[in-house]
Amino acid sequence: MLLHIPGLFNREEVLRIREALEQTDWADGRITAGYQSAKAKHNLQLPEGHPLAKEIGAAMIERLWSNPRFMSAALPHKVFPPLINCYREGGNFGFHIDNAVRQPKGSVERVRTDLSSTLFFSDPEDYDGGELEIQDTYGLQRVKLAAGDMVLYPGTSLHRVNPVTRGARYAAFFWTQSLVREDSQRALLFEMDSAIQQLTADVPDHPSLLQLTGTYHNLLRRWVEV
């Protein structure tokens, strides 16, 4: 399941974040890549634990935990602290699949990467190229969202960032370990939850809502891992 989550940050917030990113010092993006990914990764990144990355990451997590669309789709159990990257002219990241397990620097906690996310801090007109391409059931999906918007997709997906040919592409990325490991099961639960929410708004007293809600939670109880 590939899902667009709009407006995690508003225009004013995005401008402040981008101004700070433009003024900070960057490191080689390969510092957090696995052995195979490092061969394909050509970008810049804020080191783990960088004060600006921690500040932006904390704000992101706070927004996500209060975002009904993310909570319903991801059913999050653990989140790897968001990382911040920059692709300038020539920067790219060839096709790869993210490492199955990530461990934040200085932590004993491990996160299984069920879901990958990218939050854009640059608008599409700010740079040429730089599309996030994700291989899914329906073919190759090309993603280039407005600043402040986020895309959520399975961590098992083959994906890449196309070369940037003009400007700079700033973004945050992170991984989520879901309460439900299988993408197909999460997608079914998300569709059911969305239908329940719509029915609750349209016909709040419909007797089938109780049965549907019970079925949702019984499926969640069957599939959840804690």
Out of 178, 193, 211, pick the residue that ends a domain: 178
Does the model's pTM come out above 0.75?
yes
Query: Binding site annotation covers 96?
Result: yes
Specify whether the CB–CB gap between 140 and 83 falls below 8 A.
Answer: no
Are residues 47 and 68 both part of a single domain?
yes
Q: Which alpha helices (DSSP H) does the chain contain, by range? A: 11-22, 35-40, 51-65, 68-74, 183-202, 208-223
Same-domain check for residues 106 and 193: no
**77 among annotated binding-site residues:** no
159 annotated to a ligand binding site: yes
Please tell me the distance from the alpha carbon of residue 78 to that of residue 186, in angstroms, as a whole number. Answer: 15
pLDDT above 90: residue 226: no
Amino acid at 167: G
pLDDT category, 32, cuts 50, 70, 90?
low
Range of the domain at 92: 3-178
Domain count, the chain: 2
Q: Is 123 annotated as a binding residue?
A: no
Query: Does the pLDDT at position 63 exceed 90?
Result: yes
Residues 70 and 127 in one domain: yes
**CATH number, position 201:** 4.10.860
The residue type at 108: V
Q: Are 134 and 192 in a shared domain?
A: no
List, for residues 145-190, the tens digit of each pLDDT value: 999 999 999 999 999 999 999 999 999 999 999 999 999 999 999 9
| Same domain? 21 vs 117 | yes
Among the listed residues 143, 73, 83, 141, the one whose alpha carbon sits nearest the alpha carbon of residue 111: 83
Q: Are residues 134 and 216 in the same domain?
A: no
Express each pLDDT in 93-142 by its tens digit: 999 999 999 999 889 999 999 999 999 999 999 999 999 999 988 899 99
- Whether 10 and 109 map to the same domain: the answer is yes
Q: Are 90 and 164 in contact (CB under 8 A)?
A: yes
Looking at every residue in the chain, the average pLDDT score rounds to 94
The CATH number of residue 83's host domain is 2.60.120.620
Task: Identify the pLDDT of residue 138.
Answer: 81
Q: Is the pLDDT of residue 34 over 70?
A: no
